[in-house]
Each structure stands twice: as structure tokens, then as C-alpha cells.
Amino acid sequence: MTDRLHRSTLPGTVPAPVTPASVGIVHLGIGAFHRAHQAVYTEQAARATGDLRWGILGVTQRSASVRDQLRPQGGVYSVLTAGATETSLDLVGAVLDVAWPAEETDRVLATIAEPTTHLVTLTVTEKGYCRTASGALDTDLVAGDLAALRAEHAGDDAADDGPSGAVGLLTRGLAARFRAAAEHADHRPITVLTCDNMVDNGRVLERLVREAVDAALPGAEGDALRAWLAGSVTFPCSMVDRIVPATTAEQRDDVEAALGVRDEGLVVGEPFSQWVVEDRFAGPRPAWEEAGATLTDDVAVWERAKLRLLNGTHSLLAYAGRLAGHETIAEAVEDPAILARARELLFDDALPTLTPPEGADLRAYGESLLVRFANPATGHTTRQVSMDGTQKIPYRWGDTIVERLAAGEVPRGAAYALAAWSEVVRREAVAGRAVDDPRGPEMQRMVAAVGGGSAADARPEDVARALTALAGMLPGGAGLDPRLLDAVAAEVVELAGLEGVGA
Ligand code: CS2
């Protein structure tokens, strides 16, 4: 048995990671993506500047597994960069520890309140924002946190069953910081930086935090906290990009052989990485630009381009790929029939709706995405990307569809994509398998209802019409537009013949 990777057992073959002096960042949702993206920028900025204030306390939301991977390693892990022809391995030491709030809520709240903490960053995925179909904070889902927020505000010990969601935990952390600021008569400004794939992600999060405060502390009771939030906390938007699949057991074994120590925290990413951050910080921040990040006043153009071109096409490949029996995105994009439809979504539907960011050529960007998707080394699966369709599709296809319909055009690639999504959902329902989506049970009931009580009797085109019209999916009433519905129904009839998932 080889030793476990640790700050004290570093392999000499790879440059040593940084050891931050203190926690400066609390990161909510420390999955593989954060470790292969923002933590790498933070690591590289520390190496470039020698500024060691920016250690990360990671918070794992769903299970304790990332804590159990990283805590025994003193937070150190490796990043395998997997290109089509070359791989490389780096060690990252920016993460100092990982907390699982089910057992350590107080520690997380206290760390957010510390004057040396200047940032809370988030990658909790679209569904982690706990919103209703209309986009408001789902106060039922975060009821436990709201009750705790009220109790903590009144100076009582919260009856803590662990936090119920990232927005609730974040709001409680900010409230703890506000109370500490009041106690010490300082302001403790802080920046909350979301790194999830949503349009206007910072504005969305700011609104949800305000809704949490309004729900827990309505009226005068919450006024001082609201004033502090408005004056001392900023919520910049950011666009993040790097393809980071789930790490496989085989990759862990290969890296163990290469390093001579076992790394349970290994993450894998493609060579490409991009981070565009709105330059709106309440206090100090790491010099991420030293690691290649772009700090700008206008993130929106990048956000929109990335969501509609990259993520939009990614989701099309995932659903169409599953229907055709392809396990990976790389296989799906090499399938000529699917590639043709991906190009249609990219270049005919999405591209005309976008304003290019300064100096960027979006057609070339679109072509480069197809090359990135074809990289076989990441092993990114169609199943992984197809998760949580109802949470992702609105941002990925929704605005493209709305804008093309408004311009008098039917977006054919997007209609095909919707048909592929619908067909995956229908087949899961017919097979009696759970649809991997927070609205999965609702969709399964819908498919059965379309079939008059039996999913197996539901016609694919009727399911496609019903799912396209699902509340909260497509903005601007586009899900009810007969031009789109007819196009989706026509596509699904073709797709229903494919023998992939559930066939
Ligand atoms: C993917 C993204 O899983 C998904 O839905 O589309 O995670 C994608 O890999 C990243 O956004 C790339 O930056």
C-alpha cells in the first residue's frame, strides 16, 4: 500500500504546492469543478505573488465525501490536465480544509464572519439555488435555514439539523458577519462571488439572499442587516469555463502509479480554462489576473456567449448522444448526424443572438468548442451532462429560442435539442427509472398523464409538446409558441426511432 498524499509526503517529481497562511476564502460547493478551476487560479496567483492570505475553506454540501478525500491529505490534491495528446499533473495546496456543514455549521458561519475572510465563492450547480419554477427563493426548501437565521438573529442557539441549502447557509454566514461587524464597530465588507452557469449569476444570488432575509426577518427586525448587505457586500457576476468530468477509479490508480502516493482528491480537467469576473469587489482579492483570469466591467457578453454556445451545445450532445447510445460527449460529437444538428444550434440559432465580447470571434469560438468536446481524454459522459435538464435548459436554449422566434425564425437546432431531452425523459419514465433532475418526479407524472395514466401509452410527440410547455422552462412564453411546438414534435418523431437509452 502506498502512503496517502499529504503536505508532509509530497512527491518530489512535481512542483510543491503553496501552503496558505490563513483562510481568506470560504467556498460553498467544493466539488471537482472548483478544485480544477477557481482553486487553481488561487494557487497560481499565490505562487506568482507570494501573497499567502488566500487559503480556501471548502464546504461540501451534499455529502462528506470530499471532506473525507481532502482532510486526511491536509487539503492537498492533484489536478490531471488531460489533453487529446498530452497530459500533465500539478499539485494544489490552496485548499486548507473542507467542512461538512451537517456537522460543522458553526465553524462555517464563524469563518465567514472572520475579518480575514474576504470572499465567499460558490459552485453549487443551478439546482443548488433552491428556486421555484418562477425563479423566486423556494422558502419551503430552505425553511430550516430560515428558522435558524431567525433564531441566530435573536441571539438564540439555532436548533440545527444542518443547513438546508447554499443560499440559506450563505445568508446565515453573512448575518453572522453583520453581527460581528456590529459588535466590533467595523464594517467587514465581503464579496460573494458565484461561479455557477447562470445568466446574471451575481444578481440572481443577491436577490435570493435578500429574499431569504425578507422571509426570515420581515419588517424593521431585518432593516439593519438589509442596510449592511446593501452597503458592505457585493455580488459580482462571473463566467467560468473548464470541462471537468467526474474522476474515475482508473485515473486515481494511474496517478498513484505516477506520483508514488495515493491521492483520493484527484480531479481531472481539459487543458482549456477561462474565468471572466466582474470587477466589483467589496474588499481585497487574490491577484487572479496573474493566473490568466479576466477582470472586467462587462461579464454579461461572455456569460451569454458561453451559456448559449458551449453549454447549449453540450446539452444537445448529451441528450442526442444518449438516445444514439453514446456514452461520452466525445463519441456524440463525432457522430455525423448529431454533429450536424449541434452545428445548427451553434451557428444558425445561437450565434445570431449574440454580441461578441470585445476582440472575440464567436464563430471561431464555436468551432473551438467542437474540438474541445471531441477530446477523448476527459471521458466526460453524456449521462453527467444530461443531469438536471430543467435547471439548465432555460439558460442554455431558452434565450436563443425566444430571440429567434421574435426575429421570425424557428430555431431548428434548439427544437431538435428539446426533442432529444423530451425523448430521454419519456424513455426513463417508460422504463420506470428515476429522471436525474429535481423536477424528475413531476415530469414522470406528466408523461404518465399524457399517456392517460400509463407512460408507455404516451406518444413521443405529445410528451414533447407537454415538456416544452413545462412552467419555468422557456422564458417569454416561448414554450407555448405553436411554431416551436410543431418543430419539436416533428423532430421527436424522427428521434423516437433511435435505440439508445431505455430502448
Ligand atoms: C456541462 C458543464 O455538466 C454540464 O452541464 O455543460 O459542466 C460544462 O462542462 C462546463 O460549464 C464547462 O465550462
pLDDT tens across 27-86, in order?
A: 999 999 999 999 999 999 999 999 999 999 999 987 899 999 999 999 999 999 999 999
Q: Which of 296, 314, 333 is the last residue of a domain?
A: 296
Q: How far, in Å, from the CA of 171 to the mean position of ligand 1? A: 26
Q: 228-241 pLDDT, tens per residue?
A: 999 999 999 999 99
Q: The pTM is what? A: 0.96
* pLDDT, position 503: 37
Dist. CA 245 → ligand 1 center (Å): 9
Q: Which atom of ligand 1 is nearest to the CA of 240?
A: 13
Are 266 and 363 part of one and the same domain? Answer: no
Residue 178 lies in a domain: yes
Residue 492 has pLDDT above 90, yes or no: yes
Per the domain annotation, does 3 fall within a domain?
A: no
This model of the complex carries an ipTM of 0.99
Amino acid at 317: L
Tell me, what's the pLDDT at 425? 97
Beta-sheet strand order (sheet of 87-92): 87-92, 77-82, 267-269
- CA nearest ligand 1 atom 9, residue: 243
Does the CB atom of residue 314 touch ligand 1 within 6 A?
Answer: yes
Q: Within a domain: residue 18?
A: no
Same domain, 203 and 284: yes
**Per-residue pLDDT for 281 more than 90?**
yes
Core vs surface per residue 330-363: b (16+ CB within 10 A) or e: bbbbbbeebbebbebbbbebbbebbeebeeeebe
Work out which ligand 1 atom sits closest to the CA atom of 33: 7
Residues 365 and 417 sit within 8 Å (Cβ to Cβ)? no
3-state secondary structure of 29: coil
Pocket of ligand 1 contains residue 197 by CB under 6 Å: yes
Average pLDDT over residues 106-119: 97
Same domain, 256 and 370: no
Give the residue from 296, 317, 337 where a domain finishes: 296
Residue 116 pLDDT > 50, yes or no? yes
pLDDT confidence of residue 354: 98
Whether 243 is in the pocket of ligand 1, judged by its Cβ within 6 Å, is yes
Q: Is 378 in the pocket of ligand 1 (CB under 6 A)?
A: no
Minimal-distance CA residue to ligand 1 atom 8: 243
Judge whether 11 lies within some domain.
no
* Domain at 29, CATH number: 3.40.50.720
Look up residue 354 and give its three cell numbers.
Answer: 449574440
Ligand 1 centroid to 386 CA: how many Å? 10
Kindly report, residue by residue over 120-150, the tens digit of the pLDDT: 999 999 999 999 989 999 999 999 999 999 9
CATH number of 408's domain: 1.10.1040.10
- pLDDT (average), residues 320-335: 97
Mean pLDDT for 359-365 is 96
Atom 5 (ligand 1) nearest CA: 385
Q: Is residue 5 part of a domain?
A: no
Whole-number Å distance, alpha carbon 217 to ligand 1 midpoint, is 36
Mean pLDDT along residues 215-226? 96
Tens of pLDDT, residues 248-266: 999 999 999 999 999 999 9
For residues 272 and 312, state if they share a domain.
Answer: no
Helix axes 412-431, 482-495, angle to 10 degrees: 60
Cα distance between residue 376 and residue 182, in whole Å: 54
Nearest CA to ligand 1 atom 4: 385
Torsion over CA: 394, 397, 403, 406 (sign): negative
241 lines ligand 1 (CB under 6 A): yes
Q: Is the CB of 392 under 6 A from ligand 1?
A: yes
Residues 353 and 259 in one domain: no
Average pLDDT over residues 314-338: 97
- Contacts of 194 by beta carbon, 8 Å cutoff, 6+ apart: 121, 122, 201, 202, 204, 205, 235, 237, 238
Q: What number does the ligand 1 atom closest to the CA of 197 have?
A: 11
Q: In what order do the strands lie in the sheet with 190-194?
A: 95-99, 55-59, 23-28, 119-122, 190-194, 233-234
Q: What is the pLDDT of residue 407?
A: 97
| Alpha carbon nearest to ligand 1 atom 13, residue | 241
Does the beta carbon of 328 lie inside 6 Å of ligand 1? no
157 has a pLDDT exceeding 80: no
Question: For the chain, how many structural domains are there in total?
Answer: 2
Half-sphere exposure of residue 236, counting CA atoms within 13 Å on the CB side? Answer: 25
In a domain, 6, yes or no: no
The reply to whether 308 and 275 lie within a common domain is no
Domain boundary, last residue among 270, 296, 322? 296
Q: Which residue has the CA at smallest separation from atom 10 of ligand 1?
A: 243
**Ligand 1 atom closest to the CA of 314, numbered from 1:** 6
Nearest to 356 by CA among 300, 408, 439: 300
d(CA 278, CA 280): 6
Q: Is the pLDDT of residue 397 over 50?
A: yes
Q: Are residues 283 and 376 in the same domain?
A: no
14 domain-assigned: no
CA-CA distance, 379 to 213, in Å (whole number)?
Answer: 42
Q: Would the CB of 385 count as within 6 Å of ligand 1?
A: yes
Pair 278, 419 in one domain: no
Residues 337, 469 share a domain = yes
Average of per-residue pLDDT across 374-395: 95
Domain range enclosing 187: 23-296
Average pLDDT of the residues of the chain: 95
Please report the atom of ligand 1 found closest to the CA of residue 315.
6
**Predicted local distance difference test score (pLDDT) of residue 158:** 65
Whether residues 333 and 279 share a domain: the answer is no
Longest Cα–Cα distance in the chain: 68
Task: Assign 10 to helix, strand or coil.
Answer: coil
Q: Closest ligand 1 atom to the C-alpha of 385?
A: 3
In this prediction, residue 164 carries a pLDDT of 77
* Residue 277 · residue 193 · CB < 8 Å: yes
Region 288-309: mean pLDDT is: 97
In a domain, 15, yes or no: no
Q: Is 386 in the pocket of ligand 1 (CB under 6 A)?
A: no
pLDDT at 170 over 90: yes
Do 169 and 250 have their domain in common?
A: yes
The candidate with the shortest Cα–Cα distance to 178, out of 214, 231, 219, is: 231
Cell 469543478 sits on residue: 33
Ligand 1 atom nearest to CA at 396:
6
Q: Which of 276, 319, 385, 392 to mutate to test the pocket of ligand 1 (most atoms within 8 A of CB)?
A: 385
Answer yes or no: is the C-beta of 153 below 6 A from any ligand 1 atom.
no
- Whether residues 144 and 232 fall in one domain: yes
